[in-house]
Amino acid sequence: MEKKDIRIIFMGTPEFAVAPLEALIQDNWNIVAVITAQDKLQGRGRKPRSSAVKECAVKHGIPVLQPANLKHPDFIETLKSYKADLQVVVAFRMLPEVVWSMPPMGTFNLHASLLPDYRGAAPINWAIINGETKTGVTTFFLKHEIDTGSILFQEEVPILSEDNLGDLYEKLMVKGAKLVVKTVNAIKSGKIEPQDQDENKAINHAPKIFKETGKIDWSKSAESINNLIRGLSPYPAAWCTINNKSCKIFKAEVVDDTKSNALPGTIKTDNKSYVHFQTGAGVLSILELQLEGKKKMGIGDFLRGNTLVS
């Protein structure tokens, strides 16, 4: 089957970007090159590890560019040589204007939120941490300020009470892949009506996640702490200190949401089947955790090897 007749350059790095790239390939679009991060040295042998997007591109025989500097004249000249009509960006670093303004049809980005809400590096995490019941995916044309360009399309995705970061990541990845294909088809056919983002709307932000982001503050409500755990599970995980060791918490549930006279952080356990933490409002039951230096396990297995003081 003949390739569809516009030249596309795709930019992305992690697994989240693979689904849209695969979807464009399956829809027979002409991906003339892929731009991704440089290989990283990993493991004891310090062997180079390719990005998920590079592995996908190599599998399909698509040329791969891995520039250290997106403004370097050699890279700019190479990019021009591909004569791309359109550039598609998914989970990649910030682009200089000389790059995003190059193709005549523009450069659009897929963002994992309903813009302008949750602009920033970690929109999926923060939507769950903040207790949202819905989020979504947005395609938009790039401009100078990050995540502020004109919106092309949006699709909503509900956030279920049991969803964690991993669950929502998968849902948005699938939905986002379809939206990228829809957006490319619409741009090609001229059936787009870009809409400016509402800059007067009160919005949440989605800054990068750091280790301190995941430190559990037991003075907060059980619901709030549970949202933090869900929003950081399975990685990098919320954490606290148990038996004087750092402990990652992957799953919990609220068993009581009323206030108590007990001090936040107080542990109650039978050392057999449950560990309950008193919070600033309510009680949180820990279901899955990983003590420093140990493997991830359910609470029953954990208590068979560890004794806690109530």
Annotated binding residues for (6S)-5,6,7,8-tetrahydrofolate, written as ranges, equal 113-116
Which sign does the torsion angle of CA 260, 262, 280, 303 carry? Answer: negative
Structure token digits, residue 32: 């003339």
Q: Which residues carry a binding-site annotation?
A: 113-116
The tokens of 213 are what? Answer: 């982001």
Crossing angle between the packed helical segments 52-59 and 15-26, to the nearest 10 degrees: 20
Structure tokens at 301: 């297995």
Distances (CA, A) of 234 to 70, 238, 243, 278: 32, 9, 22, 23
Distance in angstroms (rounded) separating the CA atoms of residues 105 and 84: 9
Rg (CA), the chain: 23
Cα–Cα distance, 140 to 250 (Å, whole number): 34
* Cβ–Cβ < 8 Å for 87, 97: no
